[in-house]
Amino acid sequence: MTLPTVQVPPRKLAAYAPDAGEDAVERLRAAAEPLRGMRLLQVNSTGYGGGVAELLTTHVPLLNDLGIDTTWAVIEGSDDFFTVTKTVHNGLQGMDVAWTPEMESVYLERVRANAAAFDGSWDLVLIHDPQPAALLAELGDRSAGRWTWRCHIDLSAPNERVWSFFEPMVNRYDAAIFTLEAFAQPGVTQPRLAFIPPSIDPTTEKNHPLSGREVLAVLARYGVDPSRPLAVQISRFDPWKDPIGVIDAYRLARRTVPDLQLVMAGSMAADDPEGQEYLRRTASYAGEDPGLRLLTDADGVGHLEVNAFQRAADVVIQKSTREGFGLVVSEGMWKGKPVVGGAVGGIRLQVVDGETGYLVDSAEACADRLSALLLDPGLRARMGDAGRERVRDRFLSLRELEDHLRLFASLVS
């Protein structure tokens, strides 16, 4: 038995030059040169749904194109395991959650089973987030190569009970990557620390250009009126994304912009058992509002549809109350849209308040900024243009890969 692997279509680095620039391509080639021929394993908890899977769908084939033999594996979980790891996710971001010896046992039992299936000889291993974090500790002497833990969440103020369980596991790694320096937990003392923001891929179905006809076809399919103002939030349905607060902001903004529409869409990831419950709560709160659409992949919403909704939007919303990064913010900015986002975490790294959008901390503030943008097309255009250039400079895939490779090279040198 071996860990399941995810197969992804090949990608060529040269295809990124038109968006990222030739200089970015050449810098990435140079960063990869010391690692050519090495074997890299990346491990996360799901092959579909959520930002990590999206990142790996791009990173893995590009690393292979650069001559680094890269495999993407996923740990095998269970309903109980993913219920526990969702609690872990919430707890590590500071939520007051219950944490019991039974939950620890469920987590460790599942990771041990995956460790038993771990095989192969790897020069580098990159483990994503808490779900597989204990693999290194469970493997012990079998853990050859250099191991890096990539934490995609805000670990600055965790629930102490949950963190005390994970701290010894994390401190076994050779390196740890956080999105921001402010996200790092002071208890991470042994690994080398790196601070690397995530990125978006401009060539994917979610981000490549669409014709006006393609956009209109998607809107028609879901009953969205292209002649009326439109706000869009694309995200999982969970408490940190504040779907109830988004609906409150939309309803407040309609006092000023009565014909406003809202689309809220997201995928139901395999490792997020809370998703269905929060979708149900959101739907109950939304009621029968004809201007509001709640959509998921079960409704046929995939990357093409997300792309179309973001391009059709007048304003993109990401009203998170905690956020590791929020790839959808850069996605909206890449499409030339101003973003109204929660003034938290990685959103603050992307949105320059008053230049590429607005940062807000309440439904009322969100509604005020949303209304102001909807009533001023010139302001929307200026902020949209500035946002696209900010993403080009800072948040495209080649920059993130270059940062990773320079870290890896330092570990093996």
Q: How many residues does the chain have?
A: 413
Which residues does 178 contact at the CB level (< 8 Å), separation at least 6?
A: 151, 155, 184, 193, 194, 195, 196
Of 199, 269, 257, the closest CA to residue 45 belongs to 269
Is residue 7 situated within a structural domain?
no
| Residue 273, pLDDT above cutoff 70 | no
93 and 120, same domain (yes or no): yes
| pLDDT, greater one: 270 or 243 | 243
Mean pLDDT across 201-222: 97
Is residue 4 situated within a structural domain?
no
Mean pLDDT across 311-328: 94
| Residue 271, pLDDT above cutoff 70 | no
374 and 317, same domain (yes or no): yes
pLDDT score for 11: 96
269 and 345, same domain (yes or no): yes
Render pLDDT for 368-393 as a digit per residue (tens, 0 to 9). 999 999 999 999 999 999 999 999 99
Q: Count of CB atoms within 10 A of residue 219's CB?
A: 18
| Residue 270, pLDDT above cutoff 60 | no
The tokens for 100 are: 């019991």
Q: Count of CB atoms within 10 A of residue 196's CB?
A: 18
Confidence of residue 1 (pLDDT cuts 50, 70, 90): very low
150 and 281, same domain (yes or no): no
Is residue 311 situated within a structural domain?
yes
Q: How far is Cα 357 from Cα 353, in angstroms, rounded to an integer?
A: 6
Which residues does 386 contact at the CB level (< 8 Å), separation at least 6?
A: 352, 355, 356
Mean pLDDT across 304-319: 98
Is residue 401 situated within a structural domain?
yes
Specify the CATH number for the domain of residue 216.
3.40.50.2000
Angle at 356 (CA atoms; ends 313, 381), nearest 5 degrees? 55
**pTM, entire model:** 0.88
| Torsion, Cα of 77, 104, 320, 274 (10° steps) | 50
pLDDT score for 236: 86
Q: Count of CB atoms within 10 A of residue 40's CB?
A: 25
Is residue 5 situated within a structural domain?
no
DSSP string covering 196-252: ----B-TTSTTTS---HHHHHHHHHHTT--TTS-EEEEE--SSGGG-HHHHHHHHHH
Q: In terms of C-beta density within 10 A (0-12 exposed, 13-18 middle, 19 or more buried), how is residue 83 classed? A: middle
66 and 139, same domain (yes or no): yes
DSSP state of 307: H
Is residue 1 situated within a structural domain?
no
Which range marks the domain in which residue 240 is found?
212-394
317 and 243, same domain (yes or no): yes
Q: What is the CA radius of gyration of the chain?
A: 21
378 and 236, same domain (yes or no): yes
In whole numbers, what is the pLDDT of the chain averaged over residues? 94
pLDDT score for 111: 96
How many whole angstroms from its chain centre is CA 398? 16
Is residue 117 situated within a structural domain?
yes
Confidence of residue 37 (pLDDT cuts 50, 70, 90): very high
Q: What residues does 261 pair with on adjacent strands?
A: 230
Which residues does 16 contact at the CB level (< 8 Å), separation at least 6?
A: 24, 25, 202, 203, 396, 397, 398
Q: In terms of C-beta density within 10 A (0-12 exposed, 13-18 middle, 19 or more buried), how is residue 258 classed? A: exposed
Of 133, 183, 203, 198, the closest CA to residue 404 belongs to 198
357 and 331, same domain (yes or no): yes
* Percent share of the chain, pLDDT over 70: 98
Total domain count for the chain?
A: 2
296 and 309, same domain (yes or no): yes
375 and 400, same domain (yes or no): no
Is residue 181 situated within a structural domain?
yes
Render pLDDT for 69-106 as a digit per residue (tens, 0 to 9). 999 999 999 999 999 999 999 999 999 999 999 999 99
Q: Count of CB atoms within 10 A of residue 389's CB?
A: 13
pLDDT score for 324: 83
Confidence of residue 350 (pLDDT cuts 50, 70, 90): very high
116 and 90, same domain (yes or no): yes
Confidence of residue 272 (pLDDT cuts 50, 70, 90): low
270 and 325, same domain (yes or no): yes
Q: What residues does 156 pair with on adjacent strands?
A: none
